[in-house]
Amino acid sequence: MQNTTALSESPFELTYRLLFERNPLPMLVYDRDSGRVLFANLAAAKCYGHSVAQLVELHLSDIHHAEDWPRMEEHMKQPATEPLQLRVWRHRDREGNAIQVEVETEDIVLNNRRASVVLVRNVTQRYKDAERLRQEHERLNAIVNASNEAIISTDVDGRIQTFNPGAERVFGYSAEALFGRSVELLLPERFRLAHANHRAAFAGTHSPPRMMGFRIFKGLRADGREIDLEGSIAQVKINSGLVLITILRDVTELLAADAERQDARTQLSHLTHRLMSQEKDLVKRTARVLHDQLGQSIAAIRLTFEAMGALAPAKLSSKLQRLDTQMHFLIDQAIQQMRQVLVELHPSMLDEHGLAAALDNEMRSRALRKSSMRLVFEVAPEVSSQRWESACEYAMFMIAREALENAIRHSRATLLVISLRGNAAELALAVQDNGRGFAADAKTKLGHLGMAGIMERANSIGAHVEICPAQGGGTRVSVLWKAAP
């Protein structure tokens, strides 16, 4: 090792020289008046990236970071004080990179000159880790403070340690007012004891850090108003201590809106049920009028026309014969159309023989008019004679008819299957075709009953309906009704 001050080679001095050179921590000796490095060990050479010979040619300003020069010069002017002073400096290595070091300094007199022995610890990585942790802490604080949700941390005894701005908005308290106080203050008094017991049981669970799922409970604001909260609680360890972190969201308005929507749905369901019932009664009355009045009128017209034919001369002119034939055709057509309208308005088989018979008749009638589509009706023997509530049978029949009509008009299907299964307590209807199907997000057109009509009819009897693409293509309409318990 090179140096600027000769050392004797006595065994005692040689021992200390070896201890200096081989010390695993970097060590320097510098002249306090000139700032020149007098001695340096191998560990110092490794720390700064210089050789020992290069180090002893340097000035302290070559080692210190430029921004620390004023502080270094001030330190050089100060008289020696207490030994082993611990300071933190920014030094530079051979490449000019800044390194953080902790320095312990002992002032000595060497050959009648003021000098200092310096013990250096490179703590750059430690400072980087500390800076990273500081940034992560700031980032976490920013996230917590920016959250609209209430984030509260407590110790195992329920004393509040963190109360973010979201919690201040939800509960109306300041963080300073609640720090160190019991978290049970945020609950109505009737729930506090149960919550304290529940919290203690959760904190006492000896398991890895875990979280309890979201649940709804009551909270208490600073103004005494109760609010509905949805939240979760997590159990984590921080610095070997257990911390309970609660995340809460004020759902008071959301629950109130849900209650209003549910009330509106209930009222709509009742209204739909009444409308469906009125529709059924109106259809019956209309069918009765058509059958009893219009039907009798047409029948009377036919009898009158036939009587007129009997009174006419035996031989009619060709023009009158054409008119006679045309009148017969028109009267027969009117009777046939009226019968078809009566069937479509209210199939008599539904009241007389039940849902299975009415659907079977509907399928047969449709098959005669739609030869390009194969229509199949599947029903078990024990179900064919089963009867259900009148409103249920009527709604199911109308749903099946609407689905069948939609398939005939829009699906371009070649096969449609209606299946019926169930017992006295439940009824399941399925209508499936192999047509072009529909998009899952397709919307019902305004003014067209379609899917919305099917759903409303199902809702009117408390049935669950699903309209979805069928496996392999096409559309499937499924309706499940269960009798009220």
Q: What pLDDT was estimated at residue 443?
A: 47
**Above 80 in pLDDT, residue 81?**
no
Q: What pLDDT was estimated at residue 444?
A: 46
Report yes or no on 298 lying in a domain. Answer: yes
Q: Which residue has the tokens 């849900």?
A: 258
Quick one: 53 and 105 in the same domain? yes
Quick one: 386 and 433 in the same domain? yes
- Please give the residue that has the higher pLDDT: either 274 or 96: 96
Q: What is the dihedral of CA 62, 67, 68, 70, to 10 degrees?
A: 100
Tens-digit pLDDT profile for residues 327-362: 888 888 887 777 667 666 666 678 788 999 989 988
Q: What pLDDT was estimated at residue 279?
A: 67
**Above 50 in pLDDT, residue 7?**
no
Specify the DSSP element, H or E, that contains 231. strand 226-238
Confidence class for position 86, pLDDT limits 50, 70, 90: low
**Among 125, 157, 187, residue at a domain's last position:** 125
CATH of the domain at 85: 3.30.450.20
Helix 252-289 to helix 390-406 angle (10° resolution) is 90
**Above 80 in pLDDT, residue 440?**
no
State the average pLDDT for the chain: 83
pTM of the predicted model over 0.85: no
Q: What pLDDT was estimated at residue 410?
A: 86
**Nearest Cα to Cα of residue 290 among 331, 333, 339, 330:** 339
Backbone phi, psi, residue 188, to 5°: -60, 145
Tens-digit pLDDT profile for residues 235-248: 888 777 888 999 99
Assess contact for 305 and 272: CB atoms under 8 A.
no
**Among 98, 125, 152, residue at a domain's last position:** 125
Confidence class for position 380, pLDDT limits 50, 70, 90: confident
Q: What is the mean pLDDT of residues 185-199?
A: 90
**Among 277, 305, 337, residue at a domain's last position:** 337
Report yes or no on 135 lying in a domain. Answer: no
Confidence class for position 418, pLDDT limits 50, 70, 90: very high
Quick one: 264 and 164 in the same domain? no
- Please give the residue that has the higher pLDDT: either 350 or 413: 413
Q: What pLDDT was estimated at residue 9?
A: 61
Report yes or no on 473 lying in a domain. Answer: yes
Report yes or no on 241 lying in a domain. Answer: yes
Report yes or no on 225 lying in a domain. Answer: yes
Assess contact for 77 and 89: CB atoms under 8 A.
no
Report yes or no on 255 lying in a domain. Answer: no
**Above 90 in pLDDT, residue 479?**
yes
**Above 80 in pLDDT, residue 386?**
yes
Quick one: 463 and 353 in the same domain? yes
Tens-digit pLDDT profile for residues 446-469: 334 467 778 888 888 889 999 888
CATH of the domain at 388: 3.30.565.10
**276 half-sphere exposure, CB direction, 13 A CA radius:** 26
Report yes or no on 342 lying in a domain. Answer: no
Distance between CA 402 and CA 22 in Å, rounded?
97
- The percent of residues in the chain predicted with pLDDT above 90, rounded, is 32
Quick one: 414 and 321 in the same domain? no
Dihedral sign from CA coordinates of 4, 8, 10, 12: negative
Quick one: 282 and 228 in the same domain? no
Quick one: 366 and 458 in the same domain? yes
Quick one: 474 and 378 in the same domain? yes
Residues 6+ apart with CB under 8 A from 144: 151, 162, 164
Quick one: 156 and 182 in the same domain? yes
Q: What pLDDT was estimated at residue 302?
A: 76
Tens-digit pLDDT profile for residues 23-56: 999 999 999 888 899 999 999 999 999 999 999 9
Tens-digit pLDDT profile for residues 285-326: 776 667 667 777 877 887 787 777 777 776 777 887 788 788
CB atoms within 10 A of CB 75: 17
Tokens of 329: 């055709």
Quick one: 358 and 465 in the same domain? yes
Q: What pLDDT was estimated at residue 218?
A: 92
Report yes or no on 42 lying in a domain. Answer: yes
Domain around 412: 347-482
By mean pLDDT, which of 1-5, 347-351, 420-424 is the weakest? 1-5
By mean pLDDT, which of 36-50, 209-223, 387-401 is the weakest? 209-223
Q: What pLDDT was estimated at residue 179?
A: 93
Tokens of 229: 């909260």
- The percent of residues in the chain predicted with pLDDT above 70, rounded, is 86
Number of domains present in the structure of the chain: 4
Quick one: 303 and 269 in the same domain? yes
Quick one: 358 and 456 in the same domain? yes
Cα three-residue angle 131-134-138, rounded to 5 degrees: 140
